[in-house]
Structure 1
Amino acid sequence: MRQALICSICFILFFVNRPLLTNAENEQNDLYARRMELYQKIEYVTNIPWYYLAAVDQYERNIRQSRKDLPKAEGLTGIYFSPEVWVGLTNPNRTDENPLSIEFFAGMGADGDGDQKASLKSDADVLYAFARHILNYGTDHDNIKLALWDYYKRDKSVSIIIGKAKIYKHFGHLNLETHAFPVPLRSNHSYKNTWGDARGWGGRRIHEGTDIFASYGVPVRATSYGIIEMKGWNKYGGWRVGIRDINNNYHYFAHLNGFAKDLHIGQVVEPGQMIGSVGSSGYGPPGTSGKFPPHLHYGMYKDNGRTEWSYDPYPHLRLWERQERQRAKK
């Protein structure tokens, strides 16, 4: 009897002490699961690896979020086809869902769920239609890149999608939204909102980021899951690193004292991973340092499929700092 009581108490304590997921977290996890199921179903039919399909889907979802000329994604998939592209440019029926007539008019619409319809409202149909475009070229890496370039006609779009595919393949799942603060929370650091302030060195320009002041050598960490897109010297930023995340954001780390060992372009990183250390490099030819107090310049840029622009990272830094402190308490 006593042993049974002890087991019951341990059982209760186990569940009481477990971190409970909020409804929003449960819904998000369910969404990731349903998307992965869709990607893997299309992979089974087409032999296109799921992580390429996920990368295209995520890329399109992000550009739809950041552009006013495209409708926001409502279903599982973020891929967008205009009605005329879906049914065929010369098709007089803009709501056509007949796969045969759509094919006759050279539309991209296809039946991916087996209901004999090619519907823009079906996630399986939409993803399968894009997969069929890729199949016209092949399912290996190089031919997938050719298919993407032929569709987007933009090298940067292809590069971003291929980078996303590498990230998804590396981690093997879709839930890659966690972030970390750029420097250890216990380090002696300070920052305030300086985005948009005037800068004079090198001509009149605005400050495209937030300066985080810290001592020489304080570790600089990746703030997101992503891929190293750039590493090297710039006369303004000194030794710097650029990381592209799965949401088309480019994270810029500048004025570094040096890089983490073996850090290289094309490397996949995760939040909190060390990529370098705080320094005061920049404002001159390679090797220039000490023209200002040591600090990390942290910038964020968004690509919308057409162009890329800077936006204020300060609110995100505050949020990530708060979230990381909350995770440390668990």
Structure 2
Amino acid sequence: MPSEKKGHNYDYTIKLIPGNGGTVRNIHLTSKLFKYGIVSLIVSALLLIAVFCFAGYTFFSNKVDKQTIEDLQNANAIQQEKLTELAQKATQLQDSLDKLNAAEKELKSLSNVDAQTTDDSSAGQNADANGGQGGPVIAPDVQNLAEVLDNLEKRVAIHQENIENLRQALVTQRKQQSFISEKSITTPLGMPVNGPISSPYGFRWNGTDFHPGVDIAVDYGSPIRATADGVVTTAGWNSGGYGNMVDIDHGNGIVTRYGHASSVVVSAGQHVKRGQVIAYVGSTGFSTGPHVHYEVRVNDRPVNPASYF
């Protein structure tokens, strides 16, 4: 309780009364000391509050920072995984590009097509030996790797298109070669026997007779050979003056005829090859001696066989 002194200053007495009826103790405080005590309590309370606030701020701040670090680490891990994935894809695309480039060169070589190769993958491989390299060292990131992938994908697409064009050119070329080869073996070439021409193609006997083929003089019984591949359409006796005769259809309207044979060793419908024996030399039909009457007919009209020799 307060007690009044001079200048209206108060002294304070604090009584400590034990609950068991023991001795009561008195603590006397001057007004100044009491005020200091109150101020000290307030300051202590404020400091305690400040400490709690700072501790709480530090705790939550550390928690937020830890979460932020974890988020950044996760984001970095995801980015690294993405970079690794993009780098692997870039490597695979480059491998595919190298193979496509090699395939394109091979097709170009096989087809003999005068086409410029899309690019040369060996340029980078020979850089160390043939020239210098330089520039700033920049770590790959998602953006520049994506640009590289986009460029590689475009080059792969161009290669694929070029390869398809070369493949088509090669297919067309092989078809043409096959046609030429087939045509060459089905086009009459050379003479059915080796011997001198005893009667040429065209008018003879002072223009009184047109000779639709050539007569080739040769020994009796000599083999007569087909001058091209074809199918036998006639094999046997002809009453029109040819005697024993063989006709071979070579396709494309071309037929060869072999007359005056002593005997025929093929039959109608048989497929024969160039150089195959089809008959033997004789003098049957309208003939004055052993020889072969040889004709080349195009669309059922005789032409000069000499142009096929």
Under a length normalisation based on structure 1, what TM-score does the superposition of the two structures give?
A: 0.37
Instruction: Tell which structure's C-alpha radius of gyration is larger.
Output: 2
1 or 2, which has the higher helix percentage?
2
| Bigger RCO (CA 8 Å, 6+ sep) | 1
